Chains A and B, each alone.
Chain A
Amino acid sequence: NAGVTQTPKFRVLKTGQSMTLLCAQDMNHEYMYWYRQDPGMGLRLIHYSVGEGTTAKGEVPDGYNVSRLKKQNFLLGLESAAPSQTSVYFCASSYMAYEQYFGPGTRLTVT
């Protein structure tokens, strides 16, 4: 059981470039989430999904898009990266609204 995995672990982008972060879970969880963690700001929810084919906005959705084509995968896209998106991104999943399990994170730097 790998739990929640994230790809890639590190990435450096130039302003305006695009990329996709991949989250995968093998716990058959319905709910999946994307958070960003910034110093002094704590973790903030970007987008979440309560099932395959459904997504919803969280606290800080601007500049990001998501897709949940398969139950086990949740993709986070940055169409035109900005320095303000430099952060550590965490994916999480849960069985319904219960305990959330987090992945190891992706450290993204936008120059």
Chain B
Amino acid sequence: KQEVTQIPAALSVPEGENLVLNCSFTDSAIYNLQWFRQDPGKGLTSLLLIQSSQREQTSGRLNASLDKSSGRSTLYIAASQPGDSATYLCAVKTDSSYKLIFGSGTRLLVRP
């Protein structure tokens, strides 16, 4: 059974710092991996989608990498800003299912 883990559960950094959020999954047979942002009381906003054949995806200050063999993905945020404060969720889609398996998220606070 696929399980997705995100560590740490919470992270507080000063503005301007580069940071890495981690996501690990137990079954390497994934179809794709998606990173989301969730603001308090709001829905999920898709940030990046990495297909299983890709190693990384970039969007602005965000870079997501995927290492299927080790069951890991990282989300790199460059030059963090207070507006980046949110909960970041990763989710994997397995080959045999349409559903996304979510991690519990990392709650990020960027201090001015």
Chain A interface (Cβ < 8 Å from any Cβ of B)? 4, 31, 33, 40-45, 48, 50, 58-59, 90, 92, 97-105
Q: Tell me, rounded to whole Å, the shortest Cβ–Cβ distance linking B74 to chain A.
A: 19
- Contact residues in B for A44 (Cβ distance below 8 Å): 102
A102-B34 contact given A33-B99, A42-B103, A42-B105, CB 8 Å threshold: no
Q: A101 and B89: CB pair below 8 A?
A: no
Closest Cβ neighbor of A6 among chain B residues: B43
Q: Per a CB cutoff under 8 Å, which of B43, B44, B46, B98 touches A97?
A: B98
The residue in chain B whose Cβ has the minimal distance to the Cβ of A58 is B99
B46 touches A101 (CB 8 A): yes
Chain A hits for B43, CB < 8 A: 4, 90, 102-105
Judge whether B100 is part of the interface by a CB distance below 8 angstroms.
yes
| A100 CA / B35 CA spacing, docked (Å) | 11
Q: Is the interface of A mostly helix, strand, loop or mixed?
A: strand
Which positions in B face A, CB cutoff 8 Å? 31-32, 34, 36, 42-46, 49, 89, 91, 93, 98-100, 102-105
A100: chain B residues at CB < 8 Å are 34, 46, 100
The closest CB in chain A to the CB of B36 belongs to A102
Q: Are B104 and A97 in contact (CB under 8 A)?
A: no
User: Do the beta carbons of A99 and B100 come within 8 Å of each other?
Assistant: no
Residues of A within 8 A of B104 (CB): 40-42
**Docked-complex contact B93 and A42, CB < 8 angstroms:** no
How far does the alpha carbon of A41 sit from the alpha carbon of B105 in the complex, in Å? 10
Q: B10: shortest Cβ distance to chain A, in Å? A: 13
